[in-house]
Amino acid sequence: MPDAPLRTASPILTLTGDRLIAASPRAPKRPSRNPYLRLFRIPGTRAFTLGNLLARLPMGMFGVSAVIMIAGQRGSYALAGAVTATGLATTALVAPWTARLVDRHGQARIAVPATALAALGSLALVLCVRLDAPTWTLFAAYAATATTPNTGGMSRARWQHLLKDDPKALHTANAFEQAADELCFMLGPVLAAFLCTAIAPEAGTLTGAAFLLTGVLLFAAQRSTEPPAQGRTPQGPSPVRTLAPLLTVFLATGAIFGAMEVITVAYADELGHPAAAGPVLALQAAGSCVAGLVYGTLRLRGPVDRRFRGCLAAMAVLMSLPLLTTTATGSLLALAPALLVAGMATAPTMVTGMTLVQARTPEGRLNEGMTLAVTGLLGGIACGSASGGWAVEHLGASTAYAVPVAAAALALALAFLRRRSQH
């Protein structure tokens, strides 16, 4: 009789000749308790995430780089804020069309040429500033960067495609993506401020353009995780219609970020420490990054709408800290922890908001829906940049911190108005 294993309860017994020999059982692998580690065990996820992180880092670089470069050359924060606002507003108009093409034809086919055009726009802005070209050329050059694809939205679309049957894992993925955004906004301003002040005013913009192009090329090369192209989408409700009330909230929320960036750069310059603007802004992003990662591990209950309003309320309260700190102390050192705490409401708000966007976007148009949300944020950032620059010029940097406080209160009010309109 040939030797054969006899399957019994543990321990495993092997029948060899006429003897039973106990074999050491193999302990089953315990699934990781860390939900983020489980995400990156999915094949291909680490590769597309690394490329996407590099492509997203310039998000935190371009605004600060442009403000330092233009304000240093032309001597006006109002002009610098207006130029960046124009570029963001143009992006808000162009980005949904770019995203629609991504949904229709696929990420790799559209994102690469769109990024190349945006990089050329950044190069044109540097040349216009360097050559002291007429003021209108600064607006035109920065507007040419509007074809920059929504790399964060494309990454979220990949997670949605991979985790469509696992809502809990998708929540964790959304939290990771928001933390990644915050990481880019944490490192980006620091890197931009260093490059612009230690090397050359144009170095931040040029480096950001190089990172963007390289990152998108690496991301687009990961075809195994790419959602399938949808072709022509079926007739149905437009994402603009289904998301319109939510987009107004994103618009007001974006104004917080735009105003905070310009005002903090001006405040640091006013105190004689322009290079400190990047690290100080990074602390706000750091607070948001940590809060986002923690939020992604929580087991959430209750309607998403209610959680969204709660997060907005927390943001409205915490955004008053920079205003109170600067008016009371006039110290950049005291502003740093205030921004760290103020940022802790940002990621939970955005994670919850993006969950609502994913739930209410028509099937087959996910990139477009998420880009519309980012468009709302960009439009708000543009308004916040312009408003913040105006407030700095006319009221002083300390008082100008009232602008993000007002924007946070407006976002909360719009969320409650949206709730009433649904009943």
- Can you spell out the DSSP letters for 51-108? HHHHHHTTHHHHHHHHHHHHHHHH--HHHHHHHHHHHHHHHHHHHHHHHHHHHHH-HH
| pLDDT for the residue 236 | 62
The two structure tokens encoding residue 129 = 């500033």
Identify whether 218 is part of a domain: yes
| pLDDT for the residue 298 | 76
**Dist CA 373 CA 259 (whole Å):** 19
CB 187 within 8 A of CB 57: yes
Identify whether 68 is part of a domain: yes
Look up tokens 């907005």; give the residue. 312
| pLDDT for the residue 26 | 47
CB 369 within 8 A of CB 358: yes
Mean pLDDT per 10-residue section of the chain, whose length is 423 residues: 43 45 47 76 88 88 86 80 81 82 85 92 90 88 88 86 82 84 77 86 91 93 83 64 83 90 88 81 82 80 83 92 91 90 88 83 75 81 86 90 94 81 55
Residue environment code for 327-348, b if the CB has 16+ CB neighbours within 10 A, otherwise e: eeeeebeebbebbbbbbbbbbb
Identify whether 180 is part of a domain: yes
State yes or no: cis peptide before 404, omega within 30 of 0. no
Identify whether 11 is part of a domain: no
Give me the helix-helix angle, 346-360 and 239-270, nearest 10°. Answer: 160
List the beta bridge partners of residue 22: 13
The two structure tokens encoding residue 32 = 């990781």
List the beta bridge partners of residue 13: 6, 22
Identify whether 380 is part of a domain: yes
Domain count, the chain: 1
**Dist CA 349 CA 314 (whole Å):** 9
Identify whether 20 is part of a domain: no
* Helix (H), strand (E) at residue 6: strand 4-6
**Gyration radius from the chain CA atoms:** 24
* Helix (H), strand (E) at residue 265: helix 239-270
CB 146 within 8 A of CB 94: yes
- Residue 36 CB burial class (10 angstroms; 0-12, 13-18, ≥19): middle
| pLDDT for the residue 232 | 65
End-to-end CA distance of the chain: 77
The two structure tokens encoding residue 322 = 């920079």
Q: Which CATH number characterizes residue 382's domain?
A: 1.20.1250.20
Residue 356 half-sphere exposure toward CB, CA atoms < 13 A: 25
Q: Hey, what amino acid is at 31? A: P
Q: What are phi and psi of 22, to 5 degrees?
A: -75, 130
| pLDDT for the residue 34 | 79
Residue range(s) defining the domain that contains residue 404 = 60-231+239-421
| pLDDT for the residue 321 | 94
Spell out the residues 6+ positions from residue 327 whose beta carbon is closer than 8 angstroms to its own.
398, 399, 401
Identify whether 253 is part of a domain: yes
Spell out the residues 6+ positions from residue 379 whose beta carbon is closer than 8 angstroms to its own.
88, 89, 92, 251, 254
* Helix (H), strand (E) at residue 370: helix 366-395
**Dist CA 241 CA 234 (whole Å):** 16
Give the closest residue to 35 by CA, choosing from 294, 226, 227.
294
Give the closest residue to 330 by CA, choosing from 257, 246, 379, 397.
397
Report pTM: 0.70
Residue environment code for 90-122, b if the CB has 16+ CB neighbours within 10 A, otherwise e: bbbebbbebbbbbbbebbbebbbebbeebbbbb
Look up tokens 């709660």; give the residue. 310
Q: Hey, what amino acid is at 203? A: A
